[in-house]
Every structure is written in structure tokens, then in C-alpha cells.
Amino acid sequence: MFGICNSPNFHGHNYNLDVSVEGEIDAETGYVLDIGRLKEIVTECLVRHMDHKNLNLDVAWFRELNPTVENIAVVCWRVLAPAVAPARLKRIRLWETERIYVDYEGT
């Protein structure tokens, strides 16, 4: 089913994640959400759970969900959306390779 990615020992990727937010611009700071704070949120909510992990075995979100790039993007959205409030997620772009990515804009 998964072509060359079909392996009994799994296979891995070095994903890159782009996160876009939208919302009201704070009159005092000029930000929708401080980029440093966004980086902290992404690190705390996602990276610390998934970095250098076997997503199939080590990450509870994927114990019963195939970690395709599409499913990973949806999980990222669901985890990040409440964490960036009062800003709103606009788009998640998850890069699986330098040429393959998925855009997700929520449901």
C-alpha cells in the first residue's frame, strides 16, 4: 500500500512545520502573536512530544492513527488551535520532504 515507504521497521522523516496565525493586532505590541511566544507554544505542545520519536510507537496521538503527513497536520492543528488563543490558526503547512507538503486550514 505504501510503496517504498512500506517497511516492517518503519521509516522516518525530518518534518518542517510552518504555522500561520491571524487575529487582531495588539495596539501596544503590533503583533497578532509574538513570534517568540509562538515558537514556545509549538515547542511545548508539539516538538517535545514528537521530535526524535517513532510516531507509530512512542506518540499517543498516533497509536491508532496512521501518521501520514495529512494526519500529522490535523493533529498539529487540533493541538495548537486552543494554545494560540486569542490568535487563530490560519494554516498549518507540514513539509515531509523539500517537495512534498500538506496544507491544512482546520475544520
pLDDT for 9 beyond 80: no
pLDDT for 13 beyond 90: no
- 71-101 confidence digits (pLDDT tens): 999 999 999 999 999 999 999 999 999 999 9
Q: Alpha-carbon distance 67 to 6, whole Å?
A: 13
Do 73 and 55 form a contact (C-beta atoms < 8 A)?
no
Domain 15-104 matching CATH 3.30.479.10: the answer reads: yes
Active site residues: 5, 52, 96
Lowest mean pLDDT among 2-11, 17-26, 73-82, 88-97: 2-11
C-alpha distances (whole Å) from 21 to each of 35, 38, 43, 62 are 10, 9, 16, 25
Q: Alpha-carbon distance 27 to 31, whole Å?
A: 8
pLDDT for 61 beyond 80: yes
Q: At 103, list the grid cell.
A: 496544507
List 102's β-bridge partners, or say none. Answer: 94
